[in-house]
């Protein structure tokens, strides 16, 4: 029990108590459901069933102490190293804070419907600075951060439906990506909705990319990596930059079609950790991203659901860099992602890899989980990058 004492401080006792009671109630309800109605997905054992319910509870209540408690109870610190109380203390020398300035927009693709909004965002953002970080896993051979650059690096676009997520929250993910790929990982804190409407996020991503170039990375030394909404943003930026020949792209449960209309959205709604979207609800994340608060959804917004920047499934997917896509069969987005991969492969069957994980749910690779599939998925990401490196570095 002694390790639990590190969670308790004088100020957070009430929060801790609420988290304990919330998690306990969730666990009991989940167990009861399991006994009465069986698992939420045919492929699930009891553990996956209740872990999913606990995660849903934690996501809905946004309780940091609850997350820490859950990680301890599930004994998954080693899978989620930086969520322990030592979270903020990635060993000195292996993480560095960065400040990304704004960069002027270069020429934009003619077909980009966001051009005038992007120019306006860029104008209003002048002089602004964005918080970012660079992480290298501690036992990686690239651990020396002094020179600020290794031979290649990952730029990770975090998920969170464009309404949540931050560099700090994603530090564990950056660390995991670095551990499995051996590359240094840059994460950046783009502005979120509803405070900042689209395409502010696309402009911030653009600045992050320009900053990597300013640090000395060539386009073919940069890996784009994104989970969920981060995958959406990575694919939008790739289009905005007019398809640079990136070193590679990693898309984990990417949001590729914001119309959310394929069958898996209804079929997996009871199993996944996210539910359907409905732009007609005032608190819908997509509505917060696209519609100013208090304004109705008009035809322009409805048309945007098919915009290739927001729904890259409708983009011209020719000339994708080597791209690894991962999805799981219990995801609401599963059919969208599968169709995206089909369309991408139709352009170039040899540059797209698709990992499908039976019974996994949205973004399961990066949650503190106990199912062997999360480890397999991370290993596959590592192998994909190492294979690409071997191809390029072959004498
Ligand atoms: C890095 O550390 C992890 C966990 O301690 C270990 O499993 C892995 O083999 C190490 N990698 C290297 C390259 O030393
Ligand atoms: C892609 O390659 C796989 C394996 O070689 C093959 O089975 C599949 O039919 C190909 N798909 C397309 C769209 O060419
Ligand atoms: C298809 O992708 C491979 C691997 O990325 C690349 O070497 C090749 O040039 C691509 N072919 C076409 C026609 O784009």
Domain ranges of the chain: 4-84, 93-261+302-393
Q: How far is CA 384 from each of CA 84, 173, 285, 352, rounded to the nearest angstrom?
A: 28, 17, 32, 11
- What architecture does CATH give domain 93-261+302-393? 3-Layer(aba) Sandwich (3.40)
CB 392 less than 6 A from any atom of ligand 3? no
Asked about 74 being catalytic, the answer comes back as no
Which residue's alpha carbon is nearest to atom 14 within ligand 2? 349
Choice among 178, 196, 228, 311 that is catalytic: 228
pLDDT tens readout for residues 315-327: 999 999 999 999 9
| C-beta separation of 242 from 315 below 8 A | no
Instruction: Label residue 14 by pLDDT band (50, 70, 90).
Output: confident
Q: Ligand 2: distance of its center to the CA of 137 in Å? A: 36
**Beta strands 222-227 and 153-157, pairing class:** parallel
CB 348 less than 6 A from any atom of ligand 3? yes
Compute the C-alpha angle 89/224/135, nearest 5°.
Answer: 15
pLDDT tens readout for residues 374-384: 889 999 999 99
Whether the full predicted model's pTM is greater than 0.85, yes or no, is yes
Residue 91's pLDDT is 47
Mean pLDDT of the chain: 87
CB 349 less than 6 A from any atom of ligand 2? yes
Q: Ligand 1: distance of its center to the CA of 166 in Å? A: 27
Closest CA to 182 of 374, 386, 384: 386
**DSSP H helices in 113-199:** 115-124, 171-181
User: Which ligand sits closest to the CA of 345?
Assistant: 2
372 versus 199: the higher-pLDDT residue is: 199
Q: What is the mean pLDDT of residues 365-392?
A: 86
Residue 176's pLDDT is 86
Residue 230 confidence (pLDDT) above 90? yes
Residue 363 confidence (pLDDT) above 90? no
């Amino acid at each position: 029990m002694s390790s639990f004492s590190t969670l308790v401080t004088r100020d957070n006792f009430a929060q801790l108590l609420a988290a304990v009671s919330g998690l306990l109630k969730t666990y009991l309800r989940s167990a009861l459901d399991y006994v009465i109605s069986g698992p939420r997905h045919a492929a699930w054992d009891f553990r996956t069933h209740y872990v999913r319910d606990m995660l849903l509870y934690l996501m809905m209540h946004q309780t940091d102490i609850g997350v820490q408690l859950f990680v301890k109870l599930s004994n998954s610190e080693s899978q989620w190293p930086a969520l322990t109380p030592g979270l903020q203390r990635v060993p000195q020398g292996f993480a560095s804070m960065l400040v990304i300035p704004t960069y002027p927009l270069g020429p934009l693709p003619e077909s980009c419907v966001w051009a005038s909004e992007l120019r306006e965002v860029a104008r209003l953002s002048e002089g602004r600075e964005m918080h970012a970080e660079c992480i290298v896993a501690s036992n990686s051979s690239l651990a020396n951060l002094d020179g600020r650059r290794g031979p290649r690096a990952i730029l990770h676009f975090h998920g969170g439906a464009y309404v949540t997520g931050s560099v700090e929250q994603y530090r564990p993910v950056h660390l995991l990506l670095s551990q499995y790929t051996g590359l240094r990982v840059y994460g950046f804190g783009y502005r979120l909705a509803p405070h900042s409407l689209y395409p502010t996020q696309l402009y911030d991503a653009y600045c992050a990319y320009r900053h990597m170039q300013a640090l000395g990375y060539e386009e073919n030394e940069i890996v784009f990596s994104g989970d969920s909404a981060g995958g959406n943003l990575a694919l939008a930026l790739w289009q905005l930059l007019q398809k640079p020949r990136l070193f590679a792209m990693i898309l984990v449960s990417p949001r590729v079609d914001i119309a959310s209309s394929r069958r898996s959205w209804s079929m997996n709604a009871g199993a996944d950790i996210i539910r359907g979207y409905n732009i007609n609800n005032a608190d819908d994340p997509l509505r917060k991203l696209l519609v100013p608060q208090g304004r109705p959804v008009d035809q322009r917004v409805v048309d945007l659901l098919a915009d290739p920047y927001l729904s890259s499934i409708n983009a011209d997917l020719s000339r994708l860099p080597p791209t690894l896509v991962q999805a799981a069969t219990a995801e609401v987005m599963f059919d969208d992602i599968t169709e995206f991969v089909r369309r991408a492969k139709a352009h170039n069957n040899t540059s797209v890899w698709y990992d499908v994980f039976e019974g996994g749910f949205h973004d399961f690779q990066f949650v503190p989980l106990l199912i062997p599939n999360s480890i397999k998925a991370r290993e596959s990401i590592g192998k994909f990058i190492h294979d690409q490196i071997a191809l390029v570095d072959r004498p």
